[in-house]
């Protein structure tokens, strides 16, 4: 039977557990021994895995957004403002949130599945008896790598989406590359860019820590692993929207 009472209770319980797991990251993550090699390997793997998809989506969104905005802008006679408008939309919201959601789908699920299968096949126990703190070796490295790689990907995605938009503008009228970007940046203030950049660290951390949590406490059996991967994506996507909502409120205070 579908029971909202217990659903809400499990949800709150789970939120509490993930929060405690995140606190453990801060308690253990900044004390030696530092797993530098594994951290660098994870940065590479995480960035490398998600970049092609992020780049492709960003390019298409930039291009399509520009083409779809055009008719209304022409109606109001403000098509010269397209670069400025697309620039704000991409840098403040679309770039970060789109990249973060793709990241959640790709990296959140792969961390959840990887740690989940390590858990059920006792690889995590095996690490522990081999003189290794598995929380540091697996969770801290992946969460930190996700936290640093997502902002990097967002910057790349923003640039690629703007390039897509530049091509979109040029379908209808010639506009030089230099002038396009001048229009974009003239309209962007630090107050647009900085909060949008800062929130991506939180998005990345959310994806890393949720994926790790789901994998680390995976249920026995292959369904358990699948469930970990799946719910990593769901939970971290929801968290990304919640963080986004909080970020916009905070950024508003400084307007």
Partner 1 sequence: MPEPVIKIEGLSKSFGANHVLDHFDLSLNRGENLVVLGKSGSGKSVLIKCIIGLIQPEKGKIHVLGKNVLTLNQTALDYIRVKVAFLFQSNALYDSMTVRENLEFPLRRHSFQLTTKEVEDMVMEALQNVGLEHTVDMMPSELSGGMRKRIALARTLILKPEIILYDEPTTGLDPITSLEIISLINKIQEKYQTSSMIISHDMKCVKLVANRIAMLIDGKCYAIGTYDELSASPDEKIRQFFN
The reply to whether omega before 66 is within 30° of 0 (cis) is no
**Buried b or exposed e, range 81-98, using 16+ CB within 10 angstroms:** ebbbbbbbbbbbebbbbb
- By the 8 A CB rule, do 68 and 215 touch? no
Nearest to 227 by CA among 216, 237, 219: 219
Taking residues 88 to 117 in sequence order and writing x for each that binds partner 1 by CB under 8 A, - otherwise, the string is --------------------------x--x
118 binds partner 1 (CB under 8 A): yes
Nearer to partner 1, 65 or 113 (CB): 113
Q: Is 122 in the site for partner 1 (CB under 8 A)?
A: yes
Q: Is 230 in the site for partner 1 (CB under 8 A)?
A: no
Q: How many CB atoms are closer than 10 A to CB 7?
A: 10
Selected binder of partner 1 within 3, 4, 130, 249 (CB under 8 A): 130
Listed in sequence order, the residues at least 6 apart from 20 whose beta carbon sits closer than 8 Å to its beta carbon are none
Please provide the DSSP assignment of 99-127 as one string.
Answer: HHHHHIIIIIHHHHHHHHHHHHTTHHHHH
Binding piece for partner 1, criterion CB under 8 A, among 9-17, 123-131, 145-153, 170-178: 123-131
From the list 67-75, 97-105, 130-138, 144-152, the region that binds partner 1 by CB under 8 A is 130-138
Is 207 a binding residue for partner 1 by CB under 8 A? The answer is: no
Q: In this complex, which beta carbon is closest to partner 1, that of residue 127 or of residue 193?
A: 127
**Under the criterion CB under 8 A, does residue 253 sit at the interface with partner 1?**
no
Give the interface size with partner 1 as a residue count (CB under 8 A): 15
Q: Which residues in this chain contact partner 1 in the complex, by CB under 8 A?
A: 114, 117-118, 120-123, 125-132
């Amino acid at each position: 039977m579908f029971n909202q009472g217990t659903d809400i209770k499990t949800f709150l319980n789970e939120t509490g557990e993930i929060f405690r797991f995140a606190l453990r990251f801060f308690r253990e993550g900044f004390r030696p021994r530092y797993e530098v090699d594994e951290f660098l390997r994870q940065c590479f793997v995480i960035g490398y895995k998600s970049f092609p998809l992020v780049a492709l989506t960003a390019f298409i969104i930039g291009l399509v957004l520009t083409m779809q905005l055009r008719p209304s802008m022409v109606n109001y006679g403000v098509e010269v403002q397209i670069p400025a408008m697309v620039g704000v939309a991409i840098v403040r919201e679309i770039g970060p949130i789109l990249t973060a959601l793709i990241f959640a789908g790709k990296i959140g699920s792969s961390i959840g599945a990887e740690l989940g299968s390590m858990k059920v096949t006792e690889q995590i126990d095996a690490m522990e008896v081999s003189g290794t703190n598995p929380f540091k070796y697996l969770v801290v490295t992946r969460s930190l790598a996700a936290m640093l790689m997502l902002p990097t990907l967002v910057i790349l995605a923003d640039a690629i989406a703007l390039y897509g938009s530049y091509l979109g503008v040029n379908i209808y009228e010639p506009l030089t590359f230099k002038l396009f970007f001048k229009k974009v940046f003239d309209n962007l203030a630090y107050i647009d860019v900085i909060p949008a950049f800062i929130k991506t660290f939180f998005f990345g951390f959310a994806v890393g820590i949720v994926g790790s949590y789901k994998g680390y406490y995976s249920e026995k059996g292959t369904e358990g692993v699948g469930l970990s991967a799946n719910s990593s994506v769901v939970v971290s996507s929801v968290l990304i929207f919640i963080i986004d909502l909080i970020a916009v409120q905070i950024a508003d205070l400084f307007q």
